[in-house]
A and B are shown apart, each in its own frame.
Chain A
Amino acid sequence: MALPLEIPPRARSAIGASKASPMYNLRSSIVSTGSTTSLASLFAGTGASLPRDIVDDIKSVIHHAFVPHIAVHVSDDVNDIIREKGLPDLYQLIRSYGEKVQGRITARDSQGSSVTFEDFAVRFVRLSDIAQRPDRNSRNGAGSTLRNGGQWDGASAESMNSEELPLVDELLDLHLSHAEELIETSLATEAESHTGQAFYLLYLRKLLSGFPVTSHETFSHPVACLIAISSRNPSPIDTLRQLYKSGAEMEIPGYVNKEYLRYYVLVHDEDKDDIQKSTALFEQMKRHFGLHCHLLRIRSSMCIVSDEDSVPLAKSQWLPASDELAELHSRQEDDIEGDSLSRFIHGSDESAIKTMIREMVAQSIIPFMERNIASWNDQILSRRKGIGGRVLSFSRRFLGSTATRSATNSATASNFDPVTNSYDPVTPEAQMRKLADWAFMLRDWKLAYDVYNTIRTDFNNDKAWLHVAGAQEMTIISLLLTGQAITPKIRTDTIDVYLDAACYSYVTRFRAFYAALRCLLVTVELLRLSGGSSAELAAKWAIKALDLNIRPTVGRALISQRVGDCYAVRQGAGSGGWGGRRRKAAMWHVLAADTWIQLGKYAQARHCIDVAMPRYMSTEFVYIRRFLDQLKLDSGHVNLLDLGSMKISDDTEKDSADTDDVDEEKVDIAEALIEEGEKPRFDGKRRSILIPQTANGDAPGMMTMEESFNDRPL
C-alpha cells in the first residue's frame, strides 16, 4: 500500500492544520511556514470571540432551563380520550409543545418597557409529580445522608441529592453508544461533527431539565395549574371544583406556594361529541371561573402514519433524564412486542394544542406573572429597601440576636424555620425569592439581580445557608446574563467569592451535589461566553466541578473536555499568542481522551486527540509522546500526518497486536489525497482514519522507527 510520503511538507502541515479546530488551524499553519508572522497578528484577534450560533445555542439552553413550570391536573375522562388517541395522558400529549411557544411573546419588564421573546417556553409537569418528587427523593436519600450536627434538616435538602446525576450519566452513555455504533458502522460520517459540542450541550440540557422541588428556589414550583375536564363529563362544573379542591389538598411540600394561577380547559372530543353542547358548557365555565378558560378541540381517534394530516408527535427536548431513560427502555420492549404507543397525531390536534398553549401563556400566565412581580416589587421590596424596612430589619436583627441568646430560637426573631429548612411561602423572604425567580423567568435579569442581592443578606442574617447558597448562585448567573462588562474586580470580589461560598454550602453543608454541579456548569458556560480572562476563570471552576465527580463517568469526560474548550477560547495576542492557553487546552483534551478510552467511547477519544494533536506534533517530551501514542492505539486513531512523519516505538507496536481488530477499510481518503497531489482538499468530515492491520499485527502504513526515544536523556 502506498504511503502518503509523496505529499510535500508544506501540504502535510496543511492537513494537520485542517484537522484541528479553527483556532489551531490558523496558528499551526503559520508556525510551519514561518515567514508570515505579520499575517498572524492580523488574524490573532479574530479567533477570540465564539461563533454566533454557538453563543445562541448555549444561551438558549440556559434560557430554556429556567422557565415557568405549569402543573397539569386533569380528570379521568380527559385521559380516557387521550388514551383512545394512543397516548397515556394529556401531560404527555402537550408537554413537548410547551418547549416552543408559537409566535412571539411580549412581556413588560420592571421599567415598563416591553420585551419580545422569540423562543419563550414553559414546562409542563404533573401536579402529582410535584407532590411526589420530594418524597421519592427523601426516601431514597435518607439512607445515605447523615444528620450533620444539626446543620441541616428536612426533606428539602435531601431532595437535592445527587441521584439525578447517575441517571444523566447513564442516559448520555446510551446516546453516546448509539452515536458510536453509527460511526463504527460508518453509517454516519457527519456524526463525527456531533462529537464536539453537541454532546456537552445535551448533557447540560439533561442536567438542567429535572429541577428538583426544593425550598430554596421556586423555579420548579408551579406558576400555574392547568385543570382540564372533557366534554364527556356528566357533571363538568362539579368536577372542576373537585379538581380544584383535590389539587389544593394534594400533599405538596409546605414551602410551595399554592396561590398559583388556575387555568381551566375543556377538552372537546371532535369525533364523538356535539360541539354546540360543548360551547354551551364552555360559556358556563367562563361564567363560573372567569377568563382563564380554554376550549381545546381534539379528535379522539387514533392517528396512523398513513392518515392524511398525520404529523409526528413532537419529541420533547427537556424530558428529565429519569423519564427519558424509562421511555427508552419501554421503547426497546415495544420494538419486540410491537408498538403500543402512537407516535403520530392529527395535524389539526397539533395546531389546536399550540394555539391553546400560546393563548394560555400570552393572555394568562405572562400577565399573571407581571402583575405579581409588580405588586411584590411594590409591597415588599420597596418596603424592605426603604428607610422603614431598614430600621425594621435592623431592629429585628438586634432583637433576634438577643433573643437567640436568651431563649432558644424563638420564632419571633426570624421567619426561617430551621426544622424544615424553609420559609413559609407567605413570608416576605419567600416572596422576594419568588419575585426574583419570576423576574428571572421573564428574563428581566436586572431586576432579578437586584432582588437576589437584597435577599442574600436577609438569608444570611437568618443563617439559612441553603437559601444563601441559592441566592449567591442566582446573583452570579443573573449578573452574567445582564451582559455587564466583567471587570477584574467583579471577577475576584463577586464571582469567585460567591461561587466558592455557594459550592461550599451545597457540598459540605448539604451534600447537594446536583445543585453544586448545576451552579458551577451554568456559571462556567456564561463565563466562557464572555471570553478573555473570564474564560480562564471558567476553566478554573470547571476543574472544580470535576472534583465533585471522581469516578470516570461520561459526565467527567465531558466536563474535562469542556475545561479544554474553555481554555481554547482564550486566545493570545500577537504572533506568539502571548497569554493564550493553547497548551492547557491541549492537555485537558488529552485528559478527556484518556477518560473516554476508559469508558470505551473511542470516537469521542479520537475527536479529542484530533483537537489536541497539533500542539504535541513535534514535542520532545518523551512520556507525553509515548502516552499519546498509546492513546492513539487504544482509540484506533491514526492521523494522516502521522503516516509520514511519526514513528511507533517497539513496545507500543507489540501492543497493537492485541488491541481492537479493525475491520473497516477507511484508508480511501488517504489514497485520494495521494492521487490529488500536492494540495489535499479536506472537508473536515472525516478526521481520522483507521488502518487495517495485517496478520502479523503490523499496521501497514506505519513507518518503522529510525531512532528510539529511549536513548534521549531523561
Chain B
Amino acid sequence: MAGSTTSYYFVIIGTKDNPLYEAEFGTFKQGGDGVPKFREEQRHMNQFIAHSSLDCIEDLQWASKEMYLKTVDKFNNTWVSCFLTGGNIKFLLLHDARSDEPIRQFFTDVYDLYCKTLMNPFYEVNMAIRSQTFDQKIKAAAKKYL
C-alpha cells in the first residue's frame, strides 16, 4: 500500500454488496499520526479490492464456524480481513501487514457498536450508517488496536 506508514481502509458491506459505512485511518503505532496515507488512485482500488474479496468470503463463510474469518484475500500487498455477522453483514479491513489478533479485537468492538446501531428503532438492516457517534467510536477503536 502507498505511503511509508501503514494505512487502513475499513468498510461495512450490507447484504446487497452495498457499503453501509466506510472509514480510512492510519496507524498510531510506531509514532504514526493516525492520518491515512492513501494516494488518490488508491481510493478506488480500495473499494475494488474490498468488493472483489466478497467472492472469497462467499466461499469461506461456509467453511468456518467463526465469525472472524481472518485474512480472506490478498491483492498485491494489500490483505483483506473479514468479520461476518450473523445477519450476513461483512466488516472488511484492508491492511498491508498480517496481524490477526489486533484486528480481531478491533472487529469485536465494531461488532458491539454495530449491534447497538441495529437496536436503534429508526435504523433498518442495509441502511447506511450516518451516526456521528458511531463514526467517532469506530475511530477510537481503531486508535486503540490498530
Contacts and interface: CB of A to CB of B under 8 A. Distances in A.
Interface of A: 567, 572, 576, 578-584, 586-587, 590-591, 619-624, 626-627, 712-714
Given A620-B19, A624-B44, A626-B44, A586 B52 contact: yes
Contacts of B17: 583, 619
A266 B48 CA distance: 65
Contacts of B129: 713
Interface string B1-29: 00000000000000001110111100000
Nearest to A586: B52
Interface in B60-78: 62
A579 B44 contact: no
A656 to B, nearest CB: 19
A624 B22 contact: no
B101 interface: no
B100 interface: no
Contact of B58 (A579, A622, A623): A579
A620 B55 contact: no
Given A621-B51, A713-B22, A714-B23, A578 B58 contact: yes
B98 interface: no
Contacts of A712: 128
A629 to B, nearest CB: 11
Contacts, number: 54
A627 B21 CA distance: 19
Residue in B23, B51, B62 whose Cβ sees the most chain A Cβ within 10 Å: B51
Nearest 6 pairs between A and B by C-beta? A627-B44, A623-B44, A587-B52, A621-B47, A584-B52, A583-B52
Nearest to A623: B44
A708 to B, nearest CB: 15
B31 to A, nearest CB: 26
A33 to B, nearest CB: 16
A626 B24 CA distance: 18
A619 B55 contact: no
B43 interface: yes
Given A583-B17, A619-B17, 5 more contacts: A583-B54, A587-B52, A620-B19, A623-B47, A714-B24
Given A579-B58, A584-B55, A713-B130, A590 B48 contact: yes
B55 A581 contact: yes
Contacts of B62: 578
A582 B55 CA distance: 7
B79 to A, nearest CB: 15
Nearest to A590: B48
Contacts of B51: 583, 587, 619, 621, 624
A265 B119 CA distance: 90
